[in-house]
Amino acid sequence: MIKQEIEDSVAYLQNKGFNAPEIGIVLGTGLGNLANEIENPIEAHYNHIPFFPLATVEFHSGKLIYGTLEGKTVVVMQGRFHMYEGYDLQDVTYPIRVMHKLGIKKLFISNAAGAINLNFKKGDIMLLEDHINLLGGSPLAFKGVSQFGERFVDMGNPYDTEMSNAIKNIAKKENITMHSGVYAAVLGPQLETKAEYRMLKIIGADAVGMSTVPEVIVANHLKLPIVAVSVLTDECDPDNLETADIKEIIKIASETEPKMIKLFRELLKTL
């Protein structure tokens, strides 16, 4: 990855009318519908944006959508890139760098995740207050990193306190059950073994998923404030483990999506 590639991606998008978005939003698996609520949308398919990674997974439609939501200009990623699809960590985080270069000042992230903390139930939402990177790599471990910022990025407070507090207040006001917890990112695409779920609990994870952490690391590299929520789609109880079913995971994500949309829309109003 070089700066010129990002500049070419940005030039293409600006040509299409992606002018100075204020907020970037990443929509996770089964959580793409917020994109349909954008007013005056302009769309750019990932496959058409110069130097963007090519979109693969069929249940992601794979596009960037620019427009307004609650009076704010936003750029939304409908579908993201995962390491489990064979992308490297720089591909996975490339769109974050592009959105940053387009001008976003804040980033909202969503994902579908399994509940490791068994006080949390499927269909609940968890605010990420911290994370554990089990992906086996870093999106900052590359030779040209210093062109883009410092190498040794502080991760003591990776999620923005102000937006996190604001979204907690919104959840309370809207009667939406929202927990706070630690998200562990694993490579996947296989789900975890019972022993792995036990380990995740022991090391302090409350939820597990296959995304988000690389994006959060790069956003911290770019000093971009982040708020991130998991939609909990399954309960990872090693002593009563149900057979993993990706269709069921997507179904629960879709059913829970309206709550996430409400939280994000209300949060936009506060900014």
Q: Where along the sequence are the contacts to ligand HPA (CB under 6 A)?
A: 112-114, 186, 191-192, 208-210, 233-234, 236, 249
Question: In this complex, which beta carbon is closest to ligand HPA, that of residue 38 or of residue 113?
Answer: 113
Residue number closest to ligand HPA, CB atom: 114
* Helical packing angle, 213-221 and 89-102, nearest 10°: 50
Q: How many Å apart are CA 203 and CA 14, to the nearest integer?
A: 44
Q: How many Å apart are CA 112 and CA 208, to the nearest integer?
A: 9
Report the nearest approach of ligand HPA to the CB of residue 172 (Å).
Answer: 25
Report the nearest approach of ligand HPA to the CB of residue 17 (Å).
Answer: 34
Question: Are the CB atoms for 73 and 13 separated by under 8 Å?
Answer: no
Question: In this complex, which beta carbon is closest to ligand HPA, that of residue 9 or of residue 233?
Answer: 233
Question: In this complex, which beta carbon is closest to ligand HPA, that of residue 78 or of residue 111?
Answer: 111
Question: In this complex, which beta carbon is closest to ligand HPA, that of residue 45 or of residue 251?
Answer: 251
Report the nearest approach of ligand HPA to the CB of residue 234 (Å).
Answer: 5
Report the nearest approach of ligand HPA to the CB of residue 260 (Å).
Answer: 14
Exposure on the CB side of residue 46, measured as CA atoms within 13 A: 22
Question: In this complex, which beta carbon is closest to ligand HPA, that of residue 9 or of residue 256?
Answer: 256
Q: Which two tokens stand for residue 129?
A: 């207050």
Question: In this complex, which beta carbon is closest to ligand HPA, that of residue 9 or of residue 230?
Answer: 230
Q: Each residue of 220-245: b (16+ CB within 10 Å) or e?
A: bbbebebbbbbbbbbbbebeeeeeee
Question: Are the CB atoms for 47 and 41 separated by under 8 Å?
Answer: no
Question: In this complex, which beta carbon is closest to ligand HPA, that of residue 165 or of residue 193?
Answer: 193
Helices (H), the chain: 3-16, 89-102, 161-173, 194-202, 213-221, 246-270
Report the nearest approach of ligand HPA to the CB of residue 136 (Å).
Answer: 15
Question: Are the CB atoms for 87 and 187 separated by under 8 Å?
Answer: no
Report the nearest approach of ligand HPA to the CB of residue 233 (Å).
Answer: 5
Report the nearest approach of ligand HPA to the CB of residue 190 (Å).
Answer: 9
Exposure on the CB side of residue 24, measured as CA atoms within 13 A: 26
